[in-house]
A and B are shown apart, each in its own frame.
Chain A
C-alpha cells in the first residue's frame, strides 16, 4: 500500500498508551465527534447500503419459508430446507446447472484468448494510423446495447435473415429461425459475445504490451531471435501477470452467467440448452410468482458464487496482482 503514504492524512491518533486507558465507548464517541463532518457525509450512503443491499439479504429468509404476499415475510410459515430439496431433486436442477457451466465454459474458452491474440496482432501493425483505425473500429460493437445486439442477431439469423441465408447456402443450417434451434443456442451466444467484446478486451493487453521495454527486443534481435521467438520468449511472459489475473477473476464468476442476454435470446424451444440458474429463477419467481422456491434457487447460486469469488480474489492476491478491491 504505497499510496497510503501520500493519501490525505489528518491529525495523528493520540499515542497508543492513552488510547488503551480509555473505554471503547468513550473512544468511539470522541472519534464520532472528531470526524463528525465525514460521518455526516456517510449517513445517506449507509442508509442506501442497508436498504438496497442488506434488506434483500435479510429477505432471503423466505427461501426457508412458504412466503405469500398476503402473510408477509415475518408471518410466513418456516419450512426449513424444503425448497432446496425440491430444487435439487427436480429434473430442472441437472439441466440448469449443466447449462450454466456449459455456457460459462465456452464463453471463457472462446472469449478469453480472443482479445489476447487480437492484441498481439494489432501490436504487430507498423502503420500507426491503421493501428488506431483497427482499434477504434473493433471497439464499436461494445457500444451497442445488449437489446439491440440480440435484436440484430435475431433478425439476421431468422428465416430470411442474411446470416441465415448465407449459412443455408453453405449447407451449415437448414433455413429455419436459428434461435429456435437448441443446438445453435450456445454457439450463437458465445460467438456474438466474442464479436461484441473482443476489441474492447484488447485495451488492457495493448497497454501491457506498450509497457514492455524495447531494449529486450533489441537484445533478442542481436542474439538472433526471430519475431516468433521474440513473441514466445518476451511478449507472452511479459503479458503473463495480466493474463493470470484476468483469468482467475473470470473463473471466479463462472457461475455468474450474463442472464440478461440469455433471457433476451432464449425461448421455450431452446430452454433445454439455454436455461441457466438465473433465468430459471427469473421465470419461476417473477413470471410464475413462486417467490420462496426461486429465492432458494437464487441463494444456492449466490453461495457458490460467493466462495468462487473469494477463492479467485485470494489466488489473485497470492499471485501478487491486484484483487477486485
Chain B
C-alpha cells in the first residue's frame, strides 16, 4: 500500500522529534565530559552549551586521582555491593524457596507477616533507634542488614521457583535428597535468568544508596562513593579536593573537579549498562507478569 504524504510527514516529524529527545537525554552527560576536560578559567567565562572541551587538559582528573576520598569511597561501595548483594541473594532465595512450596500449615501466616511489611513500616526514626540499639551505628553492617530481603524481589523469585516442574523435586526427594540439596542443585540452576535479574536489582540499589549511609555512618573512611559525591556535588565541599592556595583559585578549580568526579563515578556504569540492558528489561517484565 502506498503511504500518504500526511503519513510520511508524520513519520519524518516523529523521527526528528525522537532525535531531539535523544539529544536531551544524552547531552547533559556529554556536557559533563567536555567540561571535565576544559580549562577552569575558560569554562567560567564561557556561557551556554559546550561543543568541545575548552583548552583541553586533564588537570581535573589528576586532582581527582590524588583524592583519597574518591578512592576509598569506590572501595567501600564495591564492598557494599558485593557483600550486600550476596546477603540479599542468600536470604531472598531461601525465603522464596520456602514460599514456593505448598502444604505447610504456617505458610499463609508467614506470608502475611512478610507481605504486611510492604504496606506498613516503622519509618525513619524507629529504624534509626533500632540500628543505634543494636550497636550498628557507624558500622557497614548498618547498610547490609536492614534491607537483607527485598520483599518484592523475593516474590519475583518465588514466582520463578513455582514455575519449575514439580516432578523434578519429587523424584530427587525420592532419591533421598534434602530440601537444601534440591534448592542448590535444582531450583537455583534452573532459575538462573530470574536470579541474574534480581542480582542486578539489588546491586544497583546498593550502588545508588546514600541515605542510610548518611544517617548511620560517622567515619569518613567508611563512606560509600555516593556519600562522598553528595558532599562534593551538592554540599559544595571541595575543600578536601584541592591544594590551591587562594580562595579565588579554589572556586575556579573546584568547578572542573566536580565534572571530572561525575565522569569518574558515572561513566563506568553507563559503559557496562548496554550489555546488561536486556536483564533489566526482563526484570521490568517479570515484575509485571500477571497472575
Contact = CB atoms under 8 A, between A and B. Distances in A.
Interface residues of B, number: 103
Interface of A: 1-4, 6-13, 27-28, 31-32, 35, 37-39, 41-42, 44-46, 48-49, 51-60, 62, 69, 73, 118, 121-122, 124-126, 130, 133-134, 136-141, 143-148, 150-152, 154-156, 160, 162, 165-166, 169, 195, 199-200, 203-204, 207, 221, 227, 242, 260, 263-264, 278, 281-282, 285-286, 291, 294-295, 298-299, 301-302, 305-306, 309-310, 321-322, 324-325
A118 B152 CA distance: 27
Given A41-B180, A45-B149, A294-B125, A6 B233 contact: no
Contacts of A10: 101-103, 170
Interface stretch (B55-63, B64-72, B265-273): B265-273
Interface string B117-129: 1111111111111
Q: Is the interface of A mostly helix, strand, loop or mixed?
A: helix
Given A9-B166, A155-B233, A144 B270 contact: yes
A285 B215 CA distance: 11
Nearest to A165: B47
Given A8-B166, A41-B183, A45-B95, A278 B124 contact: yes
Given A140-B25, A155-B233, 16 more contacts: A9-B170, A41-B94, A48-B149, A52-B130, A56-B129, A58-B126, A59-B127, A121-B18, A130-B15, A134-B22, A144-B269, A156-B28, A221-B1, A285-B125, A286-B124, A306-B119
A146 B33 CA distance: 18
Contact of B230 (A62, A195, A264): A264
Contacts of A305: 119-120
Contacts of A130: 15, 18
B176 interface: no
B125 A291 contact: yes
Interface string B173-208: 000001110010000000000000000000010011
A14 to B, nearest CB: 11
Nearest to B265: A148
B148 A125 contact: no
